[in-house]
Amino acid sequence: MADMRMDDDLFDSIVFAEERFRDEGYREGFEKGSRRGLQDGRRHGACHGARLSCEMSFYYGFAITWKCVLQNSIDGKSRKRVKALETLLGMIQSSPLDDPQSQKLQDDMDKLRAKFRQVCSMLSVPADFKDYISVAEGTSF
């Protein structure tokens, strides 16, 4: 009987040991994986953030320059254009790039792109102007 019991204990301790080995490996792996995930995610996030911010910043620079050019004109057409530019600038300022997961950011970007297209149309910017934007859009990763 005593032998049997010892065998049981032994068996338990083997299973227990294996479990511990597994847990230990898992813990180390988890730590490693977490660091790796953090880094990979960070790198991909950086690319994505850079691209989106670049596009949004481009719209900002473009709009603010045109606003400076047009804001002293008093004709109705310029007034309308300045108003559209101001709307675009306001939209950019209210679209912070702090949460890439938010649906709002995606919606905001869609609206921004639409407004930018309207502004271009109002400014009679040549259609091939798109080529200059595509430089930014082409920077895909």
Partner 1 sequence: MKEALSLVQRLSAHPDSRCWFVSWSPNGTLLASCGGDKTIRIWGKEGDSWICKNVLQDGHQRTVRKVAWSPCGNYLASASFDATTCIWKKKNDDFESLTVLEGHENEVKCVAWAPSGNLLATCSRDKSVWVWEVDEEDEYECVTVVNSHTQDVKHVVWHPTQELLASASYDNNICLYKEEDDDWECRATLQGHTSTVWSLCFDAAGQRLASCSDDRTVKIWREYPAESGPDLSWKCVCTLSGYHGRTVYDVSWCQLTGALATACGDDAVRVFKEDETANPDEPVFSLAAQVARAHNQDVNCVSWNPKEAGLLASCSDNGEIAIWRFQEEE
Partner 2 sequence: MSWVKALPVSGEDVFDDSADELSLQSKEWTSNMKKRLRVKLDGYVDGVDTGEEASLQVGFNLGFKEGAAQTVAVGRLRGIVSAIWCWCQIQHPEKPVPSSVTDLLHRVTQHEDKIANGIRNALENPPPSVSDISESMEDLEVERADRGCCEERCEESDCCRKGETMDLDFPHRPQRICSGSTEELHLLLQCCVDVVSELGMPQEIIDTISSLCGKN
Quick note: the x/- pattern for partner 2 over 81-120, rule CB under 8 A, is: ----------------xxxxx-------------------
Stretch that binds partner 1, among 33-41, 45-53, 65-73, 112-120 (CB under 8 A): 112-120
Distances (CA, A) of 5 to 1, 12, 74, 85, 130: 6, 10, 99, 84, 81
Asked if residue 105 binds partner 1 (CB under 8 A), the reply is no
Contact 92, 112 (CB under 8 A): yes
Quick note: the x/- pattern for partner 2 over 47-66, rule CB under 8 A, is: xxxxxxxxxxxxxxxxxxxx
Asked if residue 87 binds partner 1 (CB under 8 A), the reply is yes
Contact 88, 119 (CB under 8 A): yes
Cα gap 93→9, rounded to integer Å: 68
- 127 contact choice in partner 1, partner 2, none (CB below 5 to 8 Å, kind-dependent): partner 1
Q: How far is the CB of 117 from partner 1 (least distance, A)?
A: 6
The region that residue 22 occupies, defined by phi over 0 for left and psi between -120 and 50 for alpha, beta otherwise, is alpha
